[in-house]
Amino acid sequence: MVEITQQKCACEPCVCIVNVEDAIVHDGRNFCSDNCANGHADAAGCGHAGCGC
């Protein structure tokens, strides 16, 4: 049985892979950061190297 433990951040332009266990869950989707979870309302990007979301 294969368990999904990693998933791409649900933020479209985001290239980050998040551990489902420590993801920020918003509307049932997994995000890599608070910024992504709230649709970048406060700040651009997620603070992760190499990610330009």
User: Under the rule (CB under 5 A), what is the footprint of Zn ion?
Assistant: 11, 14, 16, 32, 36, 46, 48, 51, 53
Residue 1 beta carbon to Zn ion: minimum distance, rounded to whole angstroms: 29
Closest residue by beta carbon to Zn ion: 11
DSSP for the chain reads -----EEE-SSTT---EEEGGG-EEETTEEESSHHHHTTSSS-SS-S-TT---
> Smallest distance from the beta carbon of 51 to Zn ion, in angstroms?
4
Nearer to Zn ion, 16 or 23 (CB): 16
